[in-house]
Amino acid sequence: MDTGELRRRILRALEESTNDAALSRDDADAALRRTEANAAARAYEGFLANVAVPMLKQAIDVLKAERQTFVLNAPAESVRMVAEGAADTFLEFVLDSSGNRPQVLGRVSRARRRQRVVVDERPLATGKAVADLTEEDVAAFLVTEIPRLLKR
């Protein structure tokens, strides 16, 4: 056999084996991301039911005593406290699975003047897994964001 022909075959085989390894690594990474996203979604459901909803109910009661009326809404896969009479003024928690690691975002929307809405969002607890979020994390977010929510 010609040396040139043998070289081409060997190089082609090496290239194919490298591509196969890269594909299997990508498949493994994708499977790991899916597993993490599914675990985060389950943990998020527990977070909503056991932490976020009760804490927002407490915050609404505190604000009601200060003559700031909010209502609790639980649209699909989130929880939101909305200013009564101002649907664009709210604070909510949502699961963000778009990044490398799923995380809970706190989102604050404030209606300003006519037709102007300002929306800010940030992670509830940077670097913390969804399953590890606590009432203290929610309280810290609320204490920081509620005064900003109520500014006129």
Q: DSSP for the chain, please give it.
A: --HHHHHHHHHHHHHHHHHHHHHHHHHHHHHHHHHHHHHHHHHHHHHIIIIIHHHHHHHHHHHHHTT--EEEE--TTEEEEEETTEEEEEEEEEEE-SSSS-EEEEEEEEEETTTEEEEEEEESSTT--GGG--HHHHHHHHHHHHHHHH--
> Can you give the pLDDT at residue 127?
87
Would you state the structure tokens that stand for residue 107, as one six-digit string?
Answer: 């989102």
Strand 103-112 to strand 116-123: parallel, antiparallel, or no bridges (unpaired)? antiparallel
> Can you give the pLDDT at residue 131?
94
> Can you give the pLDDT at residue 116?
85
> Can you give the pLDDT at residue 140?
96
**Percent of the chain at pLDDT exceeding 70:** 92
**Which pLDDT tens digit goes with each residue over 68-83?**
999 999 887 889 999 9
Report the pLDDT averaged over residues 7-12: 85
Report the pLDDT averaged over residues 129-151: 93
> Can you give the pLDDT at residue 104?
96
What pTM was computed for the model?
A: 0.76
Checking if the pLDDT of 42 tops 60, the result is yes
57 within 8 A of 80, measured Cβ to Cβ: no
How far apart, in Å, are the Cα atoms of 141 and each of 17, 35, 94, 106, 150?
50, 28, 13, 8, 14
Tell me the pLDDT band of 53, cut-offs 50, 70 and 90.
very high
Mean pLDDT (the chain, rounded): 87
Report the pLDDT averaged over residues 140-149: 93
Provide the residue ranges of all domains of the chain, joining segments of one domain with +.
44-150
